[in-house]
Amino acid sequence: MAVEGGMKCVKYLLFFFNLIFWLCGLALIAVGVVVQVSFHKSFLIRDASASAAPIFIIGVGVLIFFIAFFGCCGAWKESYCMVTTFAILLSLIIIAEVAAAIVGYVYRNKLSDVVQNSLGEMISNYKNSSAEFKDAVDKLQQGWKCCGSNNASDWKDFDADKKSVPDSCCVNVTKGCGKGAIENPSKVYDKGCHDALVAFMKQNIQWVIVAALVIAVLQIMGIVFSCLLMRGIRSGYEVM
């Protein structure tokens, strides 16, 4: 027996919720892939822990994608079993997200260490790396208007004279402009890339937190609607 009255409204609300939730899953997958590619295609972030966040985001996105599809089918067909399974899986996701949030908070200060280590590796590997790697480093320094990890002196081993930096450190980039300019703040950027990158990442984390809160609200609404629909379907079966 199909649910009737107010339960029909709940049914369509749950279906609409899952449609939005399904789109959220797609969005999370896209964000995770973009972050993962940007970390590794640039060859700048090699720390394995840096991959944990984007891989987790992709994993959650995939789970949400399939669970939302499952919830849509359950709501549309008014299947008590499917709606119950959907509510249970959604509850497990919320528990996993809470656990991930706690772990992220505990290790929040590791972000600075990951950036510091990656930039140090970037500098030490620059001379003997591929043209693609050097191009990525140069674009980083030019784009952020910075030089080295903490300052230009991080490039002291770049050349035998101990006074040269890559041309990408120059305020006005020209061929050979970094030669002997390591201590010349009028020619090269003295600001390091570390603080700029950490500040940028922390600023963007705020948007991630906002998105997580929105998704959490949707998840809780989904569980509430699921329980209401389960109750309505169960009542309908009992009438039979």
Write the CATH number for 164: 1.10.1450
| Residue 222 and residue 18 in contact, taking contact as beta carbons nearer than 8 Å | yes
Give the global pTM.
0.57
Q: How far apart are the first and last CA of the chain?
A: 7
- Chain mean position to CA 125: 26
For 11, the enclosing helix (H) or strand (E) is helix 6-41
Give Cβ neighbours of residue 163 (< 8 Å, ≥ 6 apart).
156, 180, 181, 182, 183
Q: Is the domain of 174 the same as that of 234?
A: no
Q: Is the domain of 59 the same as that of 165?
A: no
Burial profile 190-209: b = 16 or more Cβ within 10 angstroms, e = fewer: bbbbbebbeeeeeeeeeeee
pLDDT digits (tens, 9 = 90+) for 182-240: 888 889 998 888 888 877 777 666 676 677 777 777 778 888 888 888 887 777 644 33
Type of residue at 215 = I
Instruction: Supply the DSSP symbol for 191.
Output: S
Please, what is the Cα angle at 194 between 193 and 197, to 5 degrees? 80
Q: How many domains does the chain have?
A: 2
Q: Is the domain of 66 the same as that of 15?
A: yes
Break the chain down into helix, strand, coil percent, rounded to 5: 75, 0, 25
For tokens 């919830």, the residue is 71
Choose among 103, 67, 27: nearest CA to 226. 67
- Whether 200 is in a domain gets the answer no
Residue 209 or residue 33, greater confidence: 33
pLDDT digits (tens, 9 = 90+) for 63-101: 888 888 778 877 777 778 888 888 888 888 888 777 777
Q: Is the domain of 48 the same as that of 71?
A: yes
